[in-house]
Every structure is written in structure tokens, then in C-alpha cells.
Structure 1
Amino acid sequence: MIAVRGLDKWFGGIHAVREVSLDIGRNTITGLIGPNGAGKSTLFNVIAGLFAPTGGTVHLDGEDVTGLPPHTLFRRGLLRTFQLAQEFHSLPVRENLMMVPPHQPGENLFNAWFRPGAVAAHEAELRDKADEVLEFLTLSHLANERAENLSGGQKKLLELGRTMMVDAKIVFLDEVGAGVNRTLLGTIAEVIQRLQAERGYTFCVIEHDMDFIARLCDPVIVMAEGAVLAQGTSDEIMANEHVIEAYLGTGSKHARPKQAGEGAARPGSPS
């Protein structure tokens, strides 16, 4: 689904992404892990069009999409969520979902004035679809709740729901488990697995919780200092000496000095 070749990103004198080449297979859940500052989110942002690459290419479903802006990639089925949920906080949950599909007839002034029936019919279709999504996510009881009142985990589920309102080909999830309690994290994992199995979604997941990664992801890709360090199953990755060194900062050429307050992660449980 995604083919990245020689992707580079510089910010002034900082080489944030270093000639990364990787593939994300269709209908897979690929994990992307690495120490803080490894370049994971920057790689996501370059692939998703938030940053233009300094070099290299990105292909989506066989088509060169290098440097295309996020709204164009969104229409081609590439969606990205963020570590901090980006909900419309003052709108009810259902309306957050109904806002997602592009080119709605009600956005056109002519339609709003002269084709109110068509606008109303489309709104009814969107409402029905949003209610189906909320039922899938077990959030129906919160349909009329303002999004700002949801818990962190519920907001992450809402973001997954927004991807279901359009024809997503691949979804990039950035630390979907951040700030989420274990019960809701299990629900999120189940939703991701169902979307893959039942709806053919492809996912790429940045996450520090290795239990979550091990449950969901195959393969797992490890980054360090902006480059790909290793790739394999979760068991292979947790047994990889270079990966352990990169996390512990014990001398790997890919390791970087730990920053103040960062701490060291245990092998198999990165932080």
C-alpha cells in the first residue's frame, strides 16, 4: 500500500529522516517504534504531506504521491491521526463524524438556497452512517455529548470513527495509546483489528506500549536517529541486540544520548 524509497527530511542543520526505505503491505497492521527523537512522527508527517521531503519518494497504492498536500492525500484514502486528538471540541460526537466527508452539497451556497431537499437528504444519509459508526465503536450512548467531554480513550475512538466516514485505504496512527487506560486501550485494539479484518483497512501504528504492538502488529519497524534500524516480528525485534542498545543507549552507532528526564526503557517495553 505504501512504498517509501530514500526518504530524507532536513530541518536546517538537523537530519530528521535519513534515507528511509520501507514498505507497508496492503491489509496489514505495521508497527513503527523507536526511542524518543528517532524520527517516527516526522516520517509520518512527510508521508502524510504535512512536511515536504528533502529527497526520496512516496508511493500510495502504486501512485507517486511525493509532496502532495494532506487534503489531496485524504481524498486518495491516506489518513493520519495525532498523539493529541484533533476533535471539534464544541460539537457533539455525531456531528464530529458528519463533518468528515468532503464535497457535501450543503457546503455549496447554491445548493443551500435552491436545493434544500438534496441537502437534507444527504444530511440524513450522513447521520445514518455516523450512527452506524458509533454503534461499531460502542459510542452510541455519547452521540449527543460534546466531544470535549470525552475521555482521552474515547477521543481516540472518535478519531478512528472519523476514518470510517470516508473510504480510507491506509491510516497512520500516532501513539493511539497515549493517555488511555488499559480497558479502553483494549477496545481500541479490538476496533483496529476489526477494521483490518472486516473492512480491509491498512494501518501503520506508532506506539511505545510493546504489549499493544505485539498484540496487533506484524511486521514491526524500528527507527533510531532518523533511520530504519531493524524490521521483523515483535519477538524478533525484542530479541534484537541493536534494538536493545538503541533503547538503552549502550553504545549502538544508532543510539543517541538520553535527554534529561527521558529515562531508559526496558527491552520489550520502550518509552
Structure 2
Amino acid sequence: MLEDGNVQLPYVHRVTKYDPADRDEHGHYTGTEETFSDQGEVEAAYLQAVAAFAAEACVERLSVREPGVVSLAHFGVEPPLEGFGLAGIFPTDLTGFHDGAEVPVDIGLELVRLMLRDSGAWCRLEAEGTLAVHVGWDQYLYIGSSGPCEEASARTRALGLFPERLEASPYDVETDSEDVQRPADDDFWALLHWTVGGRRAVLLEETYIEGASRWHRLTPDTIDTVRAGIGPRARLEVWPDLNPDIEAVLGTLPTEDLSMGLPQDPSPR
């Protein structure tokens, strides 16, 4: 089972421009195809393949799942684009690019294009129980479907790509994490109200998409304002309050490892 009740789709194709005949005994590609997008006919073929699978599965809208953007380091072949390439698709503050957001297939194709180009943004695209589209490294595209989608597979071959059947996508959701998680429901906020009501301010880290977060200092005067502005389906983590003794904090920092400091913004958010 996958999160949100999604059952792992029974048909999974790995779609690439890499001819299986050019793989060694370990499955590693040994041919001459480049590992980055040509931003031309081959890239267009990838997008047409996704569109073909979506059409055969009768999918018109896709949900954005686990979106993320480049943070401190980028390991893609191509340099990340300003705004992660999302300008023109979502507002500049990334409103709308969040877990659970629904987009039409044509917008989904633009997101696939950005991922093929290593633009700095990534997500899974899924129609629950019907279709899943995952883009991996080196122009590897994974398409899961509830049916065999034989016409879409044939169309993909006609486009010059190679659809290969797999047991599962390596980007399927894993739900066996032992981390303690709970929903940010009324009980969660009531507990925070109780905590800050005792004059014990806390910090709330809001990861609204993977790789991008905001910090809030919760006090009795700010907690309701902060709650009203939390992004949809953001991941929230609660931390101890800031230490006002800056010299003491600096004295505890290691000399060899990276450290992160959080200055306090005077605004309520």
C-alpha cells in the first residue's frame, strides 16, 4: 500500500531513450546517448509518451506529490534555473506548488519537462489508483498504470523511445518510516496553544515543499496568525525557542562542521 490509500499500480514501464540492446549484463547502459535532455525532438517524445499513457488511462488531471526544490546543493547534470523553472506555471512565491495540488495534464507535462531538464524542481505526478509519473536521474521516466496501456506503449516505441516493464518504480512512496508523525489537526494546535500559553515560546519550522522552509516563533500573540498562513499539507516540526545569549550560542558551535543560525525577524511571521 502507498500513502493516502494508493495501491501500488500493477503495470510499470521504464521509458527511456536508451536501447536495451546497449546494456551490459548488469543492466547498465553502455551506448552513446547523452544523459541530459536535448530540449528538442527526444524531449518532446518523452512528453508525448506521458500524454499517450494519460489519454489511454482516461486521466485529465494529476496530483502533485512530494514536491521539492534545490536547496544547498544541486547534483543535476544541468544548472538549476532561476525560480526552479516554475515561473509561468506557478506564482513566484511557489503558491500552488504543494503536495496534493491538482493540475491538468498539460501542466503536468510542463513539470515533466522541467524535471527532464534538471531545472531544480521535482515532484511525483499521480492520479490515485490509475496513473503515476516519476522522473528519475539521467532521463529515466517511470510510468505506472492500472491497465496495460498497450496502445500507449506502442506509441512510445513509435516515438523512438523504449518502454520496458518493471515490477515497480523506484520512486513509489515508502511508508515504513519509524519517525513519529501526526496530523497538524486541532489537537496539535491546542497543544501548541497550551505550550505557548505558559509563556514558553517555541519555534515552528514549516517545510511547505521539500528544500524550502519558513521559521515561525510562536507566542500567544502570533500563533493564530501563523496557523492561518501555513501552506497546504506542509510538514511542521516544533523546536525549542531561540536563545537570546548570542555569545554563548556562538561559543558552542563546532569549528569543523557546518552550522545553521536562525536570527529572529521582528515581524509576527
TM-score range, shorter chain: under 0.3
TM score, norm. by length of structure 1: 0.24
TM-score (normalised: structure 2): 0.24
Larger-Rg structure: 2
**Structure with more of its chain in helix, by fraction:** 1
